[in-house]
């Protein structure tokens, strides 16, 4: 069971109040992109053992999307931040580094 | 015009808590920039209340304003005054980016009162409803068993719960079940 705080309305709730919406920080490749780029965007997802970044939606609450950093092994929630963020904020990275020194996730570290 | 009725048609149940159909209520969803002075003035004009703080409710004489999300309020008023309130909002917000919709017939309101009210809701919603954590004037949108719901607590210790009209029967049944005598947990003393 994940306990997380919605950065949009401030509610701290458990995961059944929210819904996961796939990997975060994706760069989208649509019409006009190369097949390779589209293939990578569409199918090549991260599958980490450790820190992971996902989009979540507070679907039984304020209805807003946000991003959550969590650990796929310990189920620890490192933190949440607004969906309009292009890379994880420093406090989230620091929280991950404290538990998993040397972590990397795509281009982030 | 057809006669408007609530989906539960006045149902009530007396158990660990009293669960009652709250009757027809006027409900207006207002979306817009809650920090703007225009929205503030429009709400003041329509229901005579200010903008509540995050996850709070303000109530007046037969009206209330509930904070639903960072850009959404729910205004409550008498059922037959909705059209007039929406007209007032639309006039006050002319030229602004906003949305004011009558949702009175899309939702229903239940009244949950009595000593077991907190426990009844806590059995169904993943929310800390202890008297210290959930205080009068708070609004919470959450999951109630299998449906989304929103509730707030007024100053007299009565919970008002809003859910979609289509699931009113499910909501009433679930609450009734949670309030069945013999099912006391006593977690809130």
Task: Inform me whether the pLDDT recorded for A3 exceeds 70.
Answer: yes
In tens, the pLDDT along B148-163 reads: 999 999 999 999 999 9
**Domains of chain A, start order:** 3-99 (3.30.2270.10)
DSSP designation for B128: -
The whole-angstrom separation of Cα B151 and Cα A107 is 43
The whole-angstrom separation of Cα B111 and Cα B151 is 9
**Which of B57, B125, B142 is the mutation pick for testing A, counting most A CBs within 10 A?**
B142
The whole-angstrom separation of Cα B21 and Cα B172 is 9
Q: Give the domain B26-102 fold.
A: Alpha-Beta Plaits (3.30.70)
Which of the four pLDDT bands, split at 50, 70 and 90, describes residue A109? Answer: confident
Residues in chain A with CB shorter than 8 Å from the CB of B72 are 62
N-term to C-term CA, chain B: 49
Residues in chain A with CB shorter than 8 Å from the CB of B140 are 11
Sign of CA dihedral B71, B76, B77, B80: positive
In tens, the pLDDT along A38-58 reads: 999 999 999 999 999 999 999
Helix (H, G, I), strand (E, B) or coil at B117: helix
Helix (H, G, I), strand (E, B) or coil at B113: strand
Domain B12-23+106-178 has CATH 3.40.190.10: no
pLDDT of the residue at B2? 83
Which of the four pLDDT bands, split at 50, 70 and 90, describes residue B29? Answer: very high
- Whether residues A62 and B141 touch (CB distance < 8 A) is answered with yes
CA A46 to chain centroid, in Å, comes to: 11
Each domain of chain B, given as residue ranges in start order, spans 12-23+106-178, 26-102
Residues of A with CB under 8 A from a CB of B: 8-11, 13-14, 16-17, 59-64
Instruction: Give the ipTM.
Output: 0.88
Segment A73-82 shows an average pLDDT of 96
């Amino acid at each position: 069971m994940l306990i997380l705080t919605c950065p949009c309305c401030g509610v701290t709730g458990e995961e059944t109040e929210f819904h996961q919406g796939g990997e975060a920080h994706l760069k989208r490749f649509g019409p006009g992109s190369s097949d390779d780029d589209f293939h990578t965007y569409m199918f090549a997802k991260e599958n980490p053992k450790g820190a992971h970044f996902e989009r979540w939606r507070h679907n039984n609450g304020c209805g807003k999307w946000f991003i959550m950093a969590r650990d796929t092994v310990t189920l620890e929630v490192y933190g949440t931040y607004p969906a309009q963020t292009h890379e994880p904020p420093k406090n989230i990275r620091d929280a991950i580094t404290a538990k998993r020194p040397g972590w990397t996730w795509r281009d982030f570290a | 015009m057809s006669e408007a009725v609530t989906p539960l048609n006045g149902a009530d149940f007396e158990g660990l808590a009293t669960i009652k159909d709250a009757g027809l209520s006027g409900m207006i969803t207002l979306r817009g920039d809650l920090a703007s002075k225009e929205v503030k003035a429009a709400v003041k004009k329509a229901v005579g209340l200010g903008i509540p703080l995050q996850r709070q409710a303000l109530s007046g004489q037969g009206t209330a304003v509930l904070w639903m999300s960072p850009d959404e309020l729910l205004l409550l008023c008498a059922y037959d005054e909705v059209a007039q309130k929406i007209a007032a909002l639309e006039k006050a917000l002319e030229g602004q980016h906003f949305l004011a919709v009558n949702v009175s017939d899309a939702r229903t309101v239940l009244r949950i009162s009595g000593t077991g009210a907190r426990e009844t809701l806590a059995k169904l919603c993943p929310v800390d409803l202890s008297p210290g954590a959930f205080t009068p004037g708070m609004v919470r949108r959450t999951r109630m068993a299998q449906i989304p719901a929103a509730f707030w607590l007024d100053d007299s210790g009565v919970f008002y719960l809003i859910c979609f009209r289509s699931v009113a029967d499910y909501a009433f049944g679930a609450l009734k079940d949670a309030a069945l005598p013999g099912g006391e947990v006593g977690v809130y003393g």
